[in-house]
Amino acid sequence: MRFASLIATTVIAAAAGFSASAHAEGQIRIAQQFGIGYLILDVVQDQKLIEKYGKQQGVDIKVEWNSISGATAMNEALLAGALDVVSAGVPPMLTLWDRTHGRQNVKAIASLGSMPNYLLSNNPKVKTLQDLSDKDRIAVPAAGVGYQSRTLQIETARVFGKADYKRFDNISVSLSHPDATVALISGGSEISTHFSSPPFQYQALENKNVHKILSSYDILGGPATFNVLYTTQKFHDDNRKTYKAFYNALVEAAQFIRANKAKAADTFIRVQKSKLAPEFVRKIVEDPEIDFTVSPQRSYVYADKLHDIGVLKNRAASWKDYFFEEAYAQPGS
């Protein structure tokens, strides 16, 4: 496993005119972010499932694993050709699908599961969005453009009107989930609010001074995909066997997690070198609100709402417009 920041790599690759087609069938470079939302990838890596399915097709696949924080860096690395597959929330994927429509044609490969993200606060006066003021600061991984910011913009448009969907962008601060969690729990910093994700939101809620304002499930109308994997049309078309092996590996990993939740929790701790207590991680994996599935759920809510407020120029007719066809074998929405 090679965990490294690819920001410098992205710049070098772009300058050198590196492209995703620079390597032949049988190699895949994958990047994930941090947290239990990437458990399917942890299982794939731990059990070497891509290599397993590659061998079934007569291909020895070289898999390179990388870790990056933030959707912006992910998207830049993908377009520069420094990565073959990246992972982020549904909104960042849709933004890239929209921007590359008719060119690189970036599309989603699979969901990494449905799980709620909680908007948390340590300010006792903040019970609803209407209570937030210029004195509050909202921590998100990618202010204005990431999953949490886009989800907040959708709810803001509903509450305050479409023209005011960016109301909270000016009090949003880009901060990683681990750092934001520490800031929220410790208090005393400018961070009074955090749009969090598992497992960090559950850690924060163990503190008596932290409370939940709302859940992404409240905004989206129920269980909804959190993160997705995506790539370019060229990688998909030029590496059919590798792509198939990767997709099959994801399906098996999701099945493994559903059937072996305690073992899956141990895999997360081992692969991500987490210091969280095993019991705590197992509780999250077993949470009925969380579903580790490759099938997209309510992803079209983002496609529809983000187009409605003007973030996306292209209107998708259905979820199949921004997923590659291999995903059609699974149910989706």
Q: Quote the CA–CA distance of 252 and 245 in Å, as a whole number.
A: 11
For 309-315, what is the mean pLDDT? 97
pTM of the model: 0.88
For 43-71, what is the mean pLDDT? 94
The mean pLDDT value of the chain amounts to 91
| Cα angle for residues 28, 30, 32 (degrees, 5° grid) | 170
Looking at residue 83, the DSSP 8-state letter turns out to be: -
Sign of CA dihedral 311, 312, 313, 317: negative
Q: What is the pLDDT of residues 141-170, one digit of tens each?
A: 889 988 999 999 999 999 999 999 999 999
Looking at residue 315, the DSSP 8-state letter turns out to be: P
Band the pLDDT of 1: cuts 50, 70, 90.
very low
Return the pLDDT at 24.
65
- Is residue 299 within 8 A of residue 320, CB to CB? The reply is no
For 60-79, what is the mean pLDDT? 90
Q: Quote the CA–CA distance of 103 and 233 in Å, as a whole number.
A: 9
Return the pLDDT at 23.
55
Q: What is the pLDDT of residues 205-245, one digit of tens each?
A: 999 999 999 999 999 999 999 999 999 999 999 999 999 99
Q: What is the amino acid identity at position 138?
A: I
Residue 116: exposure state from Cβ atoms within 10 A (0-12, 13-18, ≥19)? buried
Return the pLDDT at 105.
97
Residue 279's contacts (CB-CB under 8 Å, 6 or more residues apart) are none
Return the pLDDT at 72.
82
